[in-house]
Chain A
C-alpha cells in the first residue's frame, strides 16, 4: 500500500490506471485539466492510450470504441463538456458497455463559472442523456475517497456493463491530501455481453461482436428497457453507499455530499459544542440514492433535515423528501455559482431554522 500526497484530479487518474484502465480520451476544460494532463504523461508508461479528442463529443466516442473492444476506458470533463458527452454516454448505456466518466463540477448552467460547485446532481442522477437510462453515480468527499470510488467505479461498470460516473466538485479536484493507493490490477479484456450480436448476427454469437445501441425492433428495445429497469432495482438493493455521522441522537440532520459534506462536518462540531444535536447523512452513491437510510431516521426525534449543497436551487431535495416520505420537514441551504460554502453558512442556516421553528 503506497502512500502519496496527491491532488484530487491526479488521484482520480492514478486510481483509474491502478484499476486497469488503459484508454483515456479527454478535452481541456477547467477545473479538470490535471486529469488529461496526468494521463498524457502516465498512459504511455503503462502501455496505455492517451488521446486528446477534438471535442468532448469525440472523446467519449473514442472511449466507446475502446470499450467496444473490451478495454477499460475513461473520460473526464466538467459541466459544459459533460453535456456534450450526453450522446456518447447514452450510446454506451444503450450498447451495454462499461466505462467511467468523471465530472469535476463547476458553476452552471451554460458556461457558468469555472469555480467549484455541485451543479450537476440532477443531470448525473436522472438523465445523463436521452432515452431513459441510469448510470451509477459516486460522489467522493476526500481525495482518498476520490481514489477509492474511481477504483470501485470500474468494478461496478464492468459488473453491470454500464457506464459509471465519478461526480466530484472542483474543490476535491484541486485539493491535495495524503492518500493510500490501492493495489494495481492487471488490465483484462472485458467480453462483450450486450444484445447486439444476437439481434443482428445470431450465427456470430461467440465468433463476432455486433456492438450497437440501435436494436431497431420495438419489441427487442422494450425487452432491453425492462432489463435495465430490473438492473437498476438490483443497484438499489446492492450498491447503495452512505455515511451516517453522529446520527444516533441527532435532532437535526444535514444531508450533504462531496465538499459540502466537509463543511457540514465542521458545522456539526461547532453546533454540538453549542448543545445543538446535529448529525449528517452523507450519500456516497448518489445513484442509487440512499433512500433507506433516510427511511430509517427516527421521525419522532428528528425535527428537520437540511439539504446542504453547493448549488442553488438545491437539487437533491426531491430525493430526500422521497426518502422521508415528507414525514419530516426538509429545508435547504447552500451557495451557488462557485461561491464558497462555509461551515458558518450551514451553521447559521440551521440555527435560523431552529429559531423560526421554535417561534
Chain B
C-alpha cells in the first residue's frame, strides 16, 4: 500500500507547538514538503524570527538559526553570503518584519540578497498576547488598540509587498492566502518558484502568506478563515507584485 500523506522528512517528529487552528502549521508544512520535493533538506538553513515563528526550531528538521527580533534578513544575509550553496529562507511574522525589522528587510531586498523571505501576516503580535502590529487593520481591536486601530494615532496597515515593490532589485514578490485549499496550493507554487529562483541564483524572493490568529483574534478557527476573506484579503490583495525577468 502506498502512503498518500505522511510527515515530510524536513519536519521533526513532534506535535505542533502552534495553537489549534493556527495557520503557521500549514505554512510550516508547505515549506517542509517543498524542501523534501527539492531534495534539499541537507542543504537548507531556516533563519527564524522572534515571535511565534521561533517555534519553528522545534519543527524544521533542517539547519536552523534563530535570529534576534527583526534582524532575520541580516542574519540570513550572513548565512547565505558565507555559504552560497545553501538554500536559505527567513521565516518572519509581521512584527518582526514590518516593525522592528523594517530596516533589515528593506536593505536585504535592496541588495538583492539571494534568499527567500517568507512573511507570515496575521495582523497581530501572537506570541506576546495580541498587541497591534504594523499590519493590524483599521478598526481592528488589539490589546494595545482596545477601541480598534485608529489611523489618527497609529497609522495604516503596512502593505509590505507593495512597499518592497518600490525597490529595483527584488526578483519575485507575491502575496498568497492560507485560508482555503485552493489558495494554499497557489501559495505552495509561489514558494516553489521562490526556492527555484534562489537555487538558480536569481536574487531576492519574497512570499507573503496571509494567516490568522484564532487565540488573539478571539475567533474559532473556522470564523478566522471567514474573517480573513472578509477583511485581511481585502486590505491585502493577493497577487504577484514583481516577477522580473533578467
Contacts and interface: CB of A to CB of B under 8 A. Distances in A.
Interface string B203-224: 0000000000000000000000
B149 interface: no
Contacts of B50: 214
A234 to B, nearest CB: 27
A45 interface: no
Contacts of B47: 65
A117 interface: no
B147 to A, nearest CB: 33
Contacts of A69: 45, 78-79, 82-83, 86
A49 B64 contact: no
Contacts of A51: 77-78, 81
Contacts of A54: 74, 103-104, 106-107
Contact of B65 (A22, A23, A63, A68): A68
Contacts of B66: 95, 196, 210-214
A209 interface: yes
Which range contains the number of A residues in contact with the other chain? Answer: 35 or more
Contacts of A200: 57-58, 64
Contacts of A49: 81-82
Interface in A71-86: 71, 73
Contacts of B65: 64-65, 68, 209, 211-212
Given A64-B75, A204-B12, A91 B83 contact: no
Given A69-B83, A210-B57, A212-B57, A61 B78 contact: yes
Contacts of A67: 78
B166 to A, nearest CB: 16
A330 B11 CA distance: 61
B74 A61 contact: yes
A212 B54 CA distance: 10
20 contacts: A22-B82, A23-B82, A51-B81, A53-B74, A53-B107, A57-B103, A58-B77, A62-B74, A65-B65, A67-B78, A68-B78, A69-B86, A73-B78, A196-B66, A201-B58, A208-B64, A212-B64, A213-B66, A214-B57, A214-B66
Interface of B: 12-13, 45, 47, 50, 54, 57-58, 61-68, 71, 74-83, 86, 103-104, 106-107
Given A58-B71, A64-B68, A200-B64, 11 more contacts: A61-B75, A61-B104, A65-B47, A65-B65, A66-B82, A68-B65, A69-B78, A87-B71, A201-B58, A208-B62, A211-B63
